[in-house]
Structure 1
Amino acid sequence: MIQYFSADYVIPVTSDPIKNGIVAIEDGNIVGLYRENDPAVKADVEHFSGVLIPGFVNTHCHLELSHLENVIPSKTGLIEFIGNVVTKRGQDVERIKEAMVEADRRMYESGIQAVGDHVNTSISAEVKSKSKIIYHTFVEIICMKDDEVLNKIDEARDIEFYFDPNHSSITPHAPYSCSKSLFKTYKKSISDDNIISIHNQESEEENKLFRYKSGEFLKFYEKMGIDVDCFKAQARNSIQSYLNFLPASNHTILVHNTYTSIKDLDFINRMARKVTLCLCPKANLYIEDTLPKVQLFLNQKFDIALGTDSLASNDTLSILEELKTLHKANKELTFLETIKWATINGAKALGLDNEIGSLEVGKKPGLVLLKNMPNLKINDSVEVQRII
């Protein structure tokens, strides 16, 4: 049976907003978009006060860290945060699974339709297999020792086996946690359809490491027993040091970009890669108390997507709350621009744009209502309600 839903505005995302628009849905699939009083609408219409949009896409998350909610102190800086995650993440398996189930439920209820999720184990596989959310799972590789590179790649493939083969890939974790040898071997070992999602320039300490071989990362490596004697200062920021080692044809999601400069963006453009910049503003504030320079990314016309990161570094897993944070800090942003970041851009980055991310006939993107949103402006009073 076809259901008809209308609102003050319908935002298809990939086409113009429809005032008093109507969305027709059958078994979750979009079968029509109409204007008010269109004679093609053959049944009663359920009207909502607010704005109808497709389900959100959370392009970056760590579901398996959900049990660390309210555990790790905020605003410590990235390196202390990493140390806390390493020492505190190991808990009872059932407790971890319960936290993931609850986090998954909260994300779905907050309107999230798909998630790009980073893992180091297979523990989230069962939760994802039962979820209403579409997950693309990124299995992280962490390897600083050259003699362990092949084993680490094999371990990642073993973990990937537990997840949906159509929606999973292996990826380097971050430039500060992967050796040059790992990057080179990884480049030769993956297929062209393997989506890459790598943490990028989340801290200025990362740039110090690559430019000068100095800063807090050296103390961290020493504490962790990692020998970096062979690492050489690159006299340039991290992205300019490692991007060449990633395969050129694979879509790459650069996550965080809190300390990415205009020169870094120029470098990425010259490389002519398929790159999406994923911003996680609330996590950036939680860890480093700093936000990315959004206007730089807009000026360079990059595709931007949004993520929440994990509950270890956030008090919600809500894309709406990420939008609020960005709009509060960047008054020049418009909702019709940032809704793309929260939906279709993330869907494209995860290879899901044929299914979700916009209200188009033939897609099954979910249907979400934003309430208390006069003049299509994001404000603190906006609330989200999942319709389908």
Structure 2
Amino acid sequence: MKSFRADYVFPVYADPIKNGIITVDDTGKIASITDQHSHPPDVPVEQLSGVICPGFINAHCHVELSHLKGKIQPRSGLVNFIMDVQKFRNIDKGEITDAALKADNEMYENGIVAVGDISNTNNSIGIKQASKLYYHTFVETFSFLPTKAEESFNKALELLKEFKPMPCSITPHAPYSVSKELFKLIRDHSASGQNLISMHNQECEDENKFYRYKQGRFLDMYDAFGIDIQYFKPMARNSVQSVLPLLTNKQEILMVHNTCTNLKDIYFIKRFDRKVTWCFCPNANLYIETRLPKIELFIGQGYNITLGTDSLASNNQLCILSEMRTIQHKMPEISTARLIEWATLNGARFLGLDDEKGTLEPGKTPGLNLITGLDGLKITPETKVKRLL
């Protein structure tokens, strides 16, 4: 048994415990959580300064793009980012796997215990099999051409088989890269069993502009990729409103980024029977579009909110604490307690891990993080995370 005492222990499911003491066994399973007055006096306790919380859940990542760190021009907009990723992503497989392995280790050191990871290839399979982290792999499929829908979906099915029996599912990439026909194939597949969805949503205004008016930079992208979109008719509504009816009502759906999602979009989603969770990756949004989502619009709407890092192609590090720091710096009214909930319990709920991770409760093995360098309970530039277990 090990016991740790900190200035505060954040169970997440309950109020923080001042001078709390948490005891775990040698497997990392929590035996007890007490205050300083209830802990047996003869049991030794390691004294720590800071806050103890559960291990972090990275709800959105692209480990297989880790070799692109520093290679993609920042602040150039989503369309240029997509084109650059396609230009640089296919290199020596050894370099790809080496970078992905380093990224996996980086996440472990940064107190992450579980990852919702996007994959378009089998490059990360061996890393995930050997990792100390829990991975759910979202096998991403995309084709904006209706005639290519079945071919694209069948390729995703074949890749899904390679990732099994590890947790995995098929997911659409984004509204602007998935045809109505491909969305329907994914929806039918989702009706037959467990198939979590993780879709990029409204990362830039051009995405909404394309769906509303068939205008904007996406036209340049389709032209550059040789994709004929004459068939596409503008919907006179934002992208998420246009594709939501095509999404499954049988599965949990993670909407990722939401940089340009507005209140009308949120209210529109509320009228539909869809199991939506929101995921914010603020550092990637700043890297690509130099703007953040209006996160305050999502609070109090009754939705689960989670955090992700996106990839090293769009971020300088894979660190959930860094994402929390960015949000609180820009929106100081959002408390550290709320951010910890987004970074732990809410991600565990989406991935279906909340019976063992996401909160500090006896019997669970959530991992333990120590957060130091807080100003009171506010995150500062000096705030760091250390993995205890």
- Whether the TM-score (by the shorter chain) exceeds 0.5 is yes
Which residues in structure 2 correspond to 1:151-230 (within 5 Å)?
151-165=151-165, 167-190=167-190, 191-230=192-231
Aligned residue runs from structure 1 range 1-388, under 5 A = 2-26=1-25, 27-40=27-40, 43-165=43-165, 167-190=167-190, 191-388=192-389
Identity fraction in percent: 48
Mean Cα deviation higher: 234-243 or 23-32: 23-32
Could you tell me how far apart the structure 2 residues matched to 1:62 and 1:41 are?
Answer: 47
CA distance in 1 between partners of 2:352 and 2:39 (Å): 36
Q: Deviations over 1:249-285 (max 9, x none)?
A: 2100000000001000001111132111100000000
Q: CA deviation at 1:299?
A: 4.1
CA contact (8 A) 1:52 1:370 kept: yes
Question: Given residue 233 of structure 2, which amino acid in structure 1 is its aligned partner?
Answer: K
Give me the whole-angstrom Cα distance separating, in 2, the residues matched to 1:355 and 1:130: 20
Q: Deviations over 1:277-305 (max 9, x none)?
A: 10000000000000000110114242210
How far is the alpha carbon of 1:382 from its aligned partner? 0.5
- Structure 1: 5+ residue runs without aligned partners? none
TM-score (norm 2): 0.97
Distance between the aligned counterparts of 2:306 and 2:164, measured in 1? 23
Q: What SS does the aligned partner of 1:49 have?
A: coil
Runs (5+) with no aligned partner, structure 2? none
- Residue pair 2:3, 2:44 contacting (<8 A) in 1 also: yes
In 2, are the aligned partners of 1:284 and 1:291 still within 8 Å (CA)? yes
Q: Would the aligned equivalents of 2:145 and 2:229 in 1 still touch at CA under 8 Å? A: no
- Distance apart, 1:192 and its partner CA: 4.2
AA matched with 1:98: D
Please say which of residues 312-321 and 355-364 is displaced more in the overlay.
355-364
Distance in 2 (alpha carbons) for counterparts of 1:254 and 1:188:
19
Amino acid at match of 2:152: K
Distance 1:328 1:142 in 2: 35
Q: For residue 2 of structure 2, what is the amino acid of its counterpart?
A: Q
Instruction: State the one-letter code of the partner of 2:189.
Output: S
Q: Provide Cα deviations, 1:96-138, integer angstroms capped at 9, x if missing partner.
A: 1110111111110010011100000011010011111111100
Is the partner of 2:355 in helix, strand or coil? coil
* C-alpha deviation, 1:4, in angstroms: 0.9
**Structure 1 residues 152, 42: closer, same or farther in 2, change over 3 A?**
farther
Distance 1:186 1:383 in 2: 40
2:353 is aligned with what amino acid?
A: L
Counterpart of 1:180 in structure 2: which amino acid?
Answer: K
Question: How far 1:325 sits from its partner (Å)?
Answer: 0.4
1:164 CA drift (Å)? 4.3
Distance between the aligned counterparts of 1:24 and 1:93, measured in 2?
43
Q: Tell me, in whole angstroms, the C-alpha distance in 1 between the residues paired with 2:74 and 2:35.
A: 47
Following superposition, the deviation at residue 143 of structure 1 comes to 1.2
Paired with 1:11 and 1:163, the residues of 2 have a C-alpha distance of 35
**AA of the residue aligned to 2:106:** R
CA contact (8 A) 2:259 2:293 kept: yes
Could you report, residue by residue, the CA deviation over 1:6-48 in whole angstroms, capped at 9, with x for unpaired residues?
1110001111111111111111111211110325465211111
Q: CA separation in 2, counterparts of 1:357 and 1:117?
A: 18
Cα contact 1:122–1:160 (8 A) shared by 2: no
Decide whether the 8 Å contact of 2:276 with 2:304 is kept in 1. Answer: yes
Any conservation in 1 of the 2:21–2:39 contact (CA below 8 Å)? no
CA contact (8 A) 1:54 1:366 kept: yes
| Deviation, structure 1 residue 162 | 2.4
Closer/same/farther in 2, CA of residues 92 and 41 from structure 1, 3 Å limit: farther
1:374 is displaced (CA, Å) by 3.5
Moved segments of 4+, more than 3 Å: 39-42
Q: CA 1:39/1:219 → structure 2, altered by over 3 Å: closer, same or farther?
A: closer
Q: Aligned pair in 2 of structure 1 residues 366, 41: CA closer, same or farther (>3 Å)?
A: farther
Are the equivalent residues in 1 in contact too, given 2:66–2:96 (CA < 8 A)?
Answer: yes
Describe the SS at the equivalent of 1:76.
coil
- 1:63/1:124 contact within 8 Å kept: yes
Secondary structure class of the residue paired with 2:182: helix
Aligned 8 A contact 1:67 1:100 in 2 = yes
